[in-house]
Chains A and B, each alone.
Chain A
Amino acid sequence: MMDPTQPKVVGVSGVFTRASSGLVRQVSTRDTVYYGVMAITIAYMVFIVTAWPGYPGSSMELATLLVTIGGVLLGVVYSLFAAVYPRSGGEYVFLSRVVHPSVGFVVSFLQAFWYAFYFGLNGAFFAIYGLAPLFTVLGLQMHSSGLTSAGTWFASHNGIFVMGSVLVLFIGFMVYRGMRGFFRLQRWAGAFAMASVLVTIVVLILGSTGALHFASEFNAIAGSGAYAAVERAGASPGFSTLATFNFMVWPAFSILFSVNMVSFSGEVKNVRRGPLVGIVGSMVVTGVLMIVLMWLGRGAFGDRFLQAAPSSSKVPVPPFLNVFASILGHNPVLTIVMSLWIVFVIPFALGSNVIYSSRAMLAWGLDGVAPRPFANVSERRHTPVFAIVTLVVLAEIALAIFTYTTWVEILSGFLGFAIAFAVVCVAGIFFPFTHRATLERSPANIRIAGIPLMTICGVLAAPFIGFIAYRTAVDKALGANAHISLIVNGILIAVGFAWFYALRWYRTSRGENVDRRFKEIPIE
């Protein structure tokens, strides 16, 4: 038996090591990909498919494939930045060093705000896309008006706000209590969600091969001839490249968030594992899963039906992919199982939202960029209480606005993230030239035909990210360009810069030399 007091050495191939604190083994490839997939929130598939009719002639699968390719290019830029600055904790620090401290802060500020926004909206999504469909379909399948009424209530304004608030407060409390229990729950929830996705795929395969018949199951619920009536109303436009490009904004809203896995790395430098595998691997895995679900969904339900369902009065259930899969399965147990990938994944998207933004706020507080209370950590729970409470309040405001007004929609906050991705992308293009020595001292110094890989991926990803950012600003479908989104992003950017420079002025007036903070000490 191993003596627990003996020094423990982490072996690393090709080098000698010793017992030294902080020297950890690389995270397994399986774990990096698994948690990257979790960061992507595959549950958003539901409203991605629901948005499809808004882009006549588009190919969901091709759009998702293009987003996966563009996302991988962006992911490589992020991964290489993580290889250069493995302890930086993401955009906040590496943009501060690579571009300018004000840019690092503004990007972080923008992201933290929109994560708080989605902390609230994901609460609403839980009721709209998770509970309401589940109870409605169960009610119809089990002939229970109580369950159907519950489903209707979950989809009502008050139902959305109450259930969203319950989830926001619950997740806020779980994160406050300490991450360990939360993470344990998340791991299991993720496993159940993946199993649920696989069951859904099996049911869709049976539907698309004719072993199960969606039309007859739908007619049993909606009335004889309902399926044909809905299908007749559906458009059947020819393929449109432009519509396909325009549709990319929807899968992008999900897939690109794998770059959040950038914040882990260690002293064992191996660029080919860690974030690179986590980000790229999870984008590919999720992209493939989404494409499979889309393709099978179209096969099982029919293109014209899916195109017409969201606007048809003959569809007595929420027009979502998971709902149609449940009808196809015609079994209450299957309905429950196939709802898990929505019901289990969305709460943990909330958790990730609050963790990312509270970590950013904690970092600002500790750095002295934000008021000191943001740096407060509960002595008992070891969590940033002030930051979490601030986020819960912001989330509740966002939830109320989303529920009771038409000011914001699903994609309203995506522009803020797209701006952040674009800034990182452009920074990645120039970094190898503006910080050549830093790159050459790092494992990210990978070149193809003499050109830095970071530059190549940045150049290739920039048009993609630029297009996504442009579409989020101009797309009218489902409020991607809700006017308030443009205004709020403008205000956030202005406030972020104003905050940064006001603080800088204040510090300078006290005799501090703030310019030195991120400047490299010249070696003589």
Chain B
Amino acid sequence: MTRTRIYFASDLHASERCWLKFLAAPKFYEAETIIVGGDITGKFIVPVIAQPNGNWTIENFLGRSWRVSTRAELAQVKAQIADTGQYAFETTEAEHAHYEGNQARIDELFRQLALERVRRWVDMAEDKLAGTGVTCMVSGGNDDFYEVDEALAASGLIGNPDGTLLDLPGGLQIMGIGYGNPTPWNCPRDIPEPDLAARITALADTVGRPERTIFNLHVPPHGSGLDFAPRLDSELRMVMSGAGPQMIPVGSTAVRDAVQKYQPLLSLHGHIHESRGIRRIGQTTVANPGSEYGEGVLDGVLIEVDSRKGVRDIQLTSG
């Protein structure tokens, strides 16, 4: 009888602090396997505009404007920006004007900055984890550009279970799907539910022993309690009530059906940051660690799996 400990987190959204914590997780939690379940790229670029007087200005970071006068101070602020999952972009007034209002150019800039960070994260992982025996899995989620997969593939250490079945310690396997059901934002990997169902089925049908397999499907099952997000109006604004935001289930029916049908050992999800929790669907333990990447808090799930008895323990963590 052997036991293995798995640490799962998701939706780091480019938070440098969360990535560093993720790399420290094997030692802290004594985990043999660490997994990031998608959405590793960021949502904000913070222009840091060089001024003719030698200063730099930031119009909006943490809700306020900044003026930076020294290189050392600038490095500190840029690190802080990276910790909150944003990309600092040193630029000039003229270059800033070139981007402003042009979403195609901004998207291209996002692609460039996101890939730079992912490549750096891969290097950091190799420095930190090489020779430790830790198994590290990282995949893209619905928010991530497809090029992220190529950056991850360049690593000899990081495995990417997206669209495939990989072995894990303890005689386990993991399969992943980073695609998500449609969102109001039409993100890079949003696809219709039938397409998502087809992709999951095509992969799950290749699984020999579901009871020894972990599903890493980025989107949580619909109506599982792990998929409550604020209802939005047509302007993508939260709809409020006298008891806070109105919360509605936004998970995937395809994911729910797949978990019910295949009954894997574990089904690990992310995507909905505000809906962390652990549930059971039939025989399957289902978890969403949530995400507080913007605050530099690494939310996770710590799972103890016994080779014969299955999941022996599972708990949510806030690192």
Residues of A with Cβ closer than 8 Å to B?
A: 4-10, 12-28, 31-32, 34-35, 38-39, 83-89, 93, 97, 179-180, 183, 186-187, 190, 260-261, 263-264, 266-267, 269-272, 348, 351-352, 355-356, 362-363, 365-368, 372, 375-377, 379, 382, 384, 438, 441-443, 445, 507, 510-512, 514, 516-524
Contact = CB atoms under 8 A, between A and B. Distances in A.
Given A377-B223, A377-B279, 13 more contacts: A8-B236, A23-B185, A38-B241, A93-B318, A183-B246, A186-B241, A272-B63, A348-B242, A377-B224, A384-B225, A442-B62, A512-B313, A523-B20
A410 to B, nearest CB: 21
B60 A14 contact: yes
B307 interface: no
A301 B66 CA distance: 56
Contacts of A13: 59-60
Given A18-B106, A269-B294, A264 B240 contact: yes
Contacts of A12: 44, 60
B284 to A, nearest CB: 14
Given A12-B60, A19-B186, A368-B315, A89 B274 contact: yes
B129 interface: no
* Chain B interface, DSSP helix/strand/loop, else mixed: mixed
A39 B223 CA distance: 27
B230 A24 contact: yes
B241 A179 contact: yes
Contacts of A4: 186
B240 A375 contact: no
Nearest to A354: B243
Nearest to B221: A379
Contacts of B183: 21
A187 B272 CA distance: 26
A442 B47 CA distance: 18
Given A15-B47, A377-B223, A21 B243 contact: no
B185 A21 contact: yes
Interface in B21-55: 21, 24-25, 27-29, 39, 43-47
Contacts of A521: 21, 24-25, 28, 298, 319
B276 to A, nearest CB: 7
Interface string B237-265: 11111111111110000000000000000
Contacts of A382: 223, 225, 228, 248-249
Given A24-B230, A517-B318, A379 B242 contact: no
A523 B21 contact: yes
Nearest to B256: A379
A440 to B, nearest CB: 8
Contacts of A522: 24, 28
Contacts of B316: 366-368, 517
Nearest to B21: A521
Nearest to B292: A87
Contacts of A84: 295
B62 A445 contact: yes
Nearest 10 A/B pairs, CB to CB = A14-B60, A366-B277, A14-B59, A38-B242, A377-B225, A521-B319, A355-B243, A16-B45, A270-B63, A521-B21
Nearest to A366: B277
Nearest to B319: A521
A38 to B, nearest CB: 4
Contact of B245 (A19, A28, A264): A264
B269 interface: no
Contact of A519 (B109, B232, B273, B319): B319
Nearest to B296: A441
Contacts of B240: 27, 31-32, 34-35, 264
Contacts, number: 243
A195 to B, nearest CB: 16
Contact of A366 (B24, B39, B184, B278): B278
Interface string B60-97: 11111100000000000000100110100100000000
A126 to B, nearest CB: 16
Contacts of B20: 523
A1 B239 CA distance: 24
A17 B315 contact: no
Interface in B202-248: 223-226, 228-232, 235-248
Contacts of A520: 21, 297, 319
12 contacts: A5-B186, A13-B59, A20-B187, A38-B242, A85-B297, A87-B290, A179-B248, A355-B243, A366-B279, A382-B249, A441-B84, A517-B318
B317 A180 contact: no
A243 B298 CA distance: 50
Contacts of A270: 63
Contacts of B247: 179
Nearest to A19: B185
Contact of B242 (A18, A35, A443): A35
A9 B103 CA distance: 9
A409 to B, nearest CB: 25
B264 to A, nearest CB: 19
A143 B168 CA distance: 82
Best-surrounded residue of B89, B239, B242 (most CB of chain A within 10 A): B242
A267 B230 CA distance: 13
Contacts of B223: 377, 379, 382
B292 A271 contact: no
Contacts of B43: 17-18, 20, 23, 267
Contact of A25 (B236, B271, B272): B236
B180 interface: yes
Contacts of B232: 24
Contacts of A6: 186
B179 interface: no
B99 interface: yes
Best-surrounded residue of A35, A267, A442 (most CB of chain B within 10 A): A267
Contact of A14 (B39, B65, B180): B65
Contacts of A266: 238
Contacts of B65: 14
B173 interface: no
B243 A352 contact: yes
A264 B44 contact: no
Contacts of B315: 368, 507, 512, 514, 517
B238 A24 contact: yes
B243 A516 contact: no
